Amino acid sequence: MFKYAPFIMALFAPLSAHAASDEDLRNLGEQIKQLQDHQQQRILQLEQQLQQNVAAPPQNVRPASSEAAFNPAISLILGGTYGNLKQDPATPATGFAMSANPGHEQGFNLGESELVIEANIDPQFRGTGRFAIDPAGGLSAEEVHVQTSALGEGLTLKMGRFLSGLGYLNEKHAHTWDFVDQPLVYAALWDNQLSEDGVQIKWLAPATMFIEIGGEIGRGRSFPGTDRVKNGSGAGVLFAHMGDDIGFEHNWRAGISLHQTRRVNAISDAVPDLLNTTGGVSNSFTGDSRTAGLDFIWKYAPNGNVRQTHFTFLGEYFRRKESGLLTYDTATATATPTPNTTDSYAVTQSGWYVQSIYKFMRRWRAGLRYDRLDSGTAQVGASNATNVVSDYHYSPTRKTLMLDYSPSEFSRLRLQLAQDNSRQGLPDRQLFVQYIMSIGAHGAHQY
Amino acid sequence: MKKILFVVLLFASTFSHAALNIFTCEPEWAALAKELAADKINIYSATTALQDPHHIEARPSLIARARGADLVVCTGAQLEVAWLPLVLRTSGNSKIQPGNSGYFEAALYVTMLGIPARLDRADGDFHASGNSHIQTDARNFLPIADALSKRLIQLDPANTAFYHNRLQSFTQAWQAALLRWEKQAAPLKGTPIIVHHNGFPYLNNWLELKQITTLEPKPGMEPSAAHLAQVLAQLQRTPVRMVLRAAYHNPKSSQWIAERANITAVMLPYTVGGTSSATDLFTLFDDTIQRLLAGLK
């Protein structure tokens, strides 16, 4: 019998254990009640605190963790333009056939649509990707760069593909332009905007006035560079900007820029010649290109409140000197009289514009711009003296009028009229209607 | 030449060590920093009371001032999202980048109101983290002062005792003022009002004003004639006592509605410098309450 005792006890053990847990449960119930009381007191305290709102604890909002938590800021700029032109936009400004001619799009076109993705990479770097949406489909990399955020001492380093910091308008993205198009001088001398694959360093002086100095080196991929694909750099830029406030209502910025590149076998098509060859000829230029620029902007807003009324005056001047060897009529092998003649060539071309934008009431702005180019007088080597035009005796000009309406921060509708006399004997009246809108993250705009 | 540059840099760096350089986004934080640090700091305020803090340009002077700042004090809650990130990024100053000790956001220390339940720009221009006009409730300055004082001590430990004393005397004076203001404002309790921009939820919450509607059809959108007519019709059903606007708002719309609905248009300083009597934080609220009380008559 006794030898079964442990077995029987073992059998009953769970029962006694149950008996014991009943007591525990009672204890637990009391503990819970205490806890509830305590919590109620705490809630009361918190409510009191909230009512007083004194020393309210900082909010502690924890977003649910997910892969998306580190998503970069993404925005899509939607732009579209309708252009009505009288002349063929492929015709370059008179005297600038050997320069860039980005021209205009006629009819309906998907203008400045682009996708922007940016975010901090880590405490040291920030990354930006800006892709233009080609009307034909596909994306092209407009700006893809990384930038330091923690160098300190006023230094910022940028690497990758970026818009050069020269001048004032060059760094502005197309959706922030005040007109549908760039000034003639930007179109002819920079193919609208100078973009570079390379490195940029900027230094901001430790002063209460804004003084910034910057330098860039790169492969010279965009006009007037000819895309150097070997060791070393193909183009260099130096710029300095300074600016300040005058009281609360006025502020300004002025700058000086220098650009230099070596052009190698730069081909220009449809260049007029002294023989009046139909459709022009193709010339090739190899030599140095040096450009200097000045820019000045002044802004005024009553009480400094830009939301109500705002006035902006902007002017820029660029002067480019090119010297080297020009090969006349590269396309023709044996035609008469003198194809493939190479001799020295040097020319200084310049251009400037001034523009004013007046925000006369909330949401509405009007703008006026005057453009002028000077194609200069080229010094043409003796062997090309009878072929190559040295002086066009014409100054291209353009007058532009703009009116835009912005229902919100994120949308803008624009009407632009231009009287374009940039091509001798081909005056053009241009009309543009444009929309620019953005969805997604909306980054801050540059000055 | 190099020597001259070196001397200039040396001077510049010793100069900046003389006192903390503080860059404030709005005048109320400049005034608070002054209460807490007196002459131990140099203050630069990026905006004035007559400027809309949502719409400021990242102009050269702001970038230059941010370059030399030891501490940036802003409202945060995306109020300055259109300009401050760019100013900070281009300043080349690593101390003041978000996340570092030189970057202070006041909105982190108060309970936010008006956090939107849905985020859609079809609803207008608003901020995901809530209404950012926190400075209209005087009670909010106590936790912010406490946090800002701690930050000053962290950046300038040599003057710990000084900052500590300043905080104590500010807190005492502010608590006394709060009692006074709340007593003065007692007649305002439950007063129905309308506002130009939805910029007063903290003031409404504090003084228990009852906001019926806004003149802006959607946050950040200028009142249209059609919307004003709707508001006017609404006021006939639900009468209000006054229409409030900040010093930087265009007075036209609130004057238009005030004339037709026969109510008082009240312009509030909104921040330090908004009116000639709002010269510091204390007079800011003195003036605010006086103007509200005058609006009752």
Contact A176, A207 (CB under 8 A): no
B78 pLDDT more than 70? yes
Distance (Å) from the alpha carbon of A236 to chain B's nearest alpha carbon:
21
End position of a domain, from candidates B177, B197, B214: B177
Closest Cβ–Cβ partner in A55, A207, A244 for B142: A55
Closest Cβ–Cβ partner in A54, A123, A445 for B139: A54
Q: Give the pair of three-digit tokens for residue A121.
A: 């990479």
Residue A126 per-residue DSSP state: E
Q: Give the pair of three-digit tokens for residue B162.
A: 């000084």
Residue B211: helix, strand or coil by DSSP? strand
Q: Give the pair of three-digit tokens for residue A221.
A: 């991929």
Q: Give the pair of three-digit tokens for residue B2.
A: 């190099």
| Rounded mean pLDDT, B243-255 | 92
Mutate which of A145, A148, A208, A249 to test chain B, going by most B C-beta atoms within 10 A?
A208
Closest Cβ–Cβ partner in A56, A147, A150 for B97: A150
Q: A3 φ, ψ to 5°?
A: -70, -15
Q: A337 φ, ψ to 5°?
A: -90, -40
Separation between Cα atoms, residue A180 and residue A367, nearest integer Å:
11
pLDDT tens digits, B187-223: 999 999 999 999 999 999 999 999 999 999 888 788 8
pLDDT for B244 equals 95
B163 in the same domain as B27: yes
B145 in the same domain as B270: no
Chain B residue numbers with beta carbons less than 8 Å from the beta carbon of A253 are 59-60
In this complex, how many residue pairs, one in chain A and one in chain B, have their CB atoms less than 8 Å apart?
A: 157
A7 pLDDT more than 60? no
Separation between Cα atoms, residue A351 and residue A348, nearest integer Å:
10
- Of the candidates A360, A354, A356, A364, the one whose C-alpha atom is nearest the C-alpha of residue A403 is A364
B198 in the same domain as B122: no
Chain A residue numbers with beta carbons less than 8 Å from the beta carbon of B147 are 58
Q: Give domain status of residue A18, yes or no.
A: no
Q: Give the pair of three-digit tokens for residue A346.
A: 């040097």
| Rounded mean pLDDT, A348-370 | 96
User: Nearest residue on chain A to B5, judged by CA atoms?
Assistant: A205
Cα A397-A430-A357 angle, rounded to 5 deg: 70
Q: Give domain status of residue A11, yes or no.
A: no
pLDDT for A68 equals 63
B45 pLDDT more than 90? yes
User: Nearest residue on chain A to B8, judged by CA atoms?
Assistant: A206
Interface of A with B in 197-226 (CB under 8 A): 202-211
B131 in the same domain as B22: yes
Contact A78, A251 (CB under 8 A): no
Chain B residue numbers with beta carbons less than 8 Å from the beta carbon of A242 are 60
User: Nearest residue on chain A to B85, judged by CA atoms?
Assistant: A444
User: Nearest residue on chain A to B248, judged by CA atoms?
Assistant: A305
End position of a domain, from candidates B177, B208, B232: B177
| Rounded mean pLDDT, A427-445 | 90
Burial class (CB in 10 A: 0-12, 13-18, 19+), B113: middle
B171 in the same domain as B208: no
B117 in the same domain as B22: yes
A337 pLDDT band (50/70/90 cuts)? low
Residue A180: helix, strand or coil by DSSP? coil
B210/A contact by beta carbon, under 8 A: no
End position of a domain, from candidates B148, B177, B206: B177
Separation between Cα atoms, residue A71 and residue B218, nearest integer Å:
28
pLDDT for A36 equals 65
B235 in the same domain as B122: no
Contact A350, A373 (CB under 8 A): yes
Q: Give domain status of residue A423, yes or no.
A: yes
- Of the candidates A400, A401, A395, the one whose C-alpha atom is nearest the C-alpha of residue A423 is A395
Q: Give the pair of three-digit tokens for residue A358.
A: 């007046």
Which 3-state string (H, E, C) describes A412-426?
Answer: EEEEEEEEEECCCCC
| Terminal CA-CA length for chain B | 69
A121 pLDDT band (50/70/90 cuts)? very high
Q: Give the pair of three-digit tokens for residue B205.
A: 């919450």
pLDDT for B184 equals 96
What is the residue-wise DSSP string for A184-231? Answer: HHHHHHHTTS-EEEEEEEEEE-SSSSEEEEEEEEE---STT-----SS
Q: Give domain status of residue A420, yes or no.
A: yes
- Cβ distance A156 to B109 less than 8 Å, yes or no, reads no
- Cβ distance A444 to B60 less than 8 Å, yes or no, reads no
Closest Cβ–Cβ partner in B64, B85, B99 for A210: B64
Tell me which H or E stretch contains B201: helix B201-207
pLDDT tens digits, A204-232: 999 999 999 999 999 998 999 888 778 88
Q: A441 φ, ψ to 5°?
A: -60, 140
Separation between Cα atoms, residue B42 and residue B34, nearest integer Å:
9
Chain B residue numbers with beta carbons less than 8 Å from the beta carbon of A408 are 121, 124-125, 220-221
Across A40-135, the runs of DSSP E, i.e. the strands, are 73-84, 107-109, 114-120, 125-133
> Cα separations (Å) of B231 from A308, A363, B121, B218?
23, 22, 22, 13
Residue B286: domain span: 186-296
User: Nearest residue on chain A to B54, judged by CA atoms?
Assistant: A307
Chain B residue numbers with beta carbons less than 8 Å from the beta carbon of A240 are none
User: Nearest residue on chain B to A155, judged by CA atoms?
Assistant: B92
B7 pLDDT more than 50? no
Residue A380: domain span: 74-440
The total number of structural domains in chain B stands at 2
Closest Cβ–Cβ partner in A59, A126, A410 for B121: A410
Chain A residue numbers with beta carbons less than 8 Å from the beta carbon of B9 are 206
Contact B71, B106 (CB under 8 A): no
pLDDT for A321 equals 97
Residue A349: helix, strand or coil by DSSP? strand
Percent pLDDT > 90 in chain B is 80
pLDDT tens digits, A286-299: 999 999 999 999 99
B170 in the same domain as B28: yes
| Bridge partner list, B42 | B21
B240 in the same domain as B171: no
A122/B contact by beta carbon, under 8 A: no
Q: A4 φ, ψ to 5°?
A: -90, -15
A44 pLDDT band (50/70/90 cuts)? low
Q: Give domain status of residue A146, yes or no.
A: yes
What type of residue sits at position A189?
L
User: Nearest residue on chain A to B251, judged by CA atoms?
Assistant: A308
Residue B194 belongs to domain with CATH number: 3.40.50.1980
Cα torsion A22, A23, A25, A26 to 10°: value is: 120
B218 in the same domain as B164: no
| Rounded mean pLDDT, A427-431 | 96
* Close Cβ partners of B157 (under 8 Å, ≥ 6 residues apart): none
Provide the CA B203 distance to its chain's centre, in angstroms. 12
B163 in the same domain as B191: no
Residue A171: helix, strand or coil by DSSP? coil
- Cβ distance B61 to A408 less than 8 Å, yes or no, reads no
A445/B contact by beta carbon, under 8 A: yes
Residue B158 per-residue DSSP state: G
pLDDT for A245 equals 95
> Is the peptide bond between A337 and the residue preceding it cis, with omega within 30 degrees of 0?
yes
pLDDT tens digits, A165-203: 999 999 999 999 999 999 999 999 999 999 999 999 999
Residues in chain A: 447
pLDDT tens digits, B137-156: 999 999 999 999 999 999 99
Contact A372, A183 (CB under 8 A): no
Separation between Cα atoms, residue A421 and residue A429, nearest integer Å:
9
- Of the two residues A1 and B40, the one the predictor is more confident about is B40
Counting runs of H as helices and runs of E as strands, what totals does chain A give?
2, 18
Q: Average per-residue pLDDT in chain B?
A: 91
What residue has token string 């995901």? Answer: B128
The total number of structural domains in chain A stands at 1
Contact A287, A264 (CB under 8 A): no
Residue A407 belongs to domain with CATH number: 2.40.160.10
Percent pLDDT > 90 in chain A is 64
> Is the peptide bond between A224 and the residue preceding it cis, with omega within 30 degrees of 0?
yes
User: Nearest residue on chain A to B58, judged by CA atoms?
Assistant: A447
B130 in the same domain as B19: yes
A60/B contact by beta carbon, under 8 A: no
3-state helix, strand, coil in chain A (%, to 5): 15, 50, 35
Q: B22 φ, ψ to 5°?
A: -115, 130
Q: Give the pair of three-digit tokens for residue A292.
A: 């200097």
Count CB atoms within 10 A of the CB of residue B117.
4
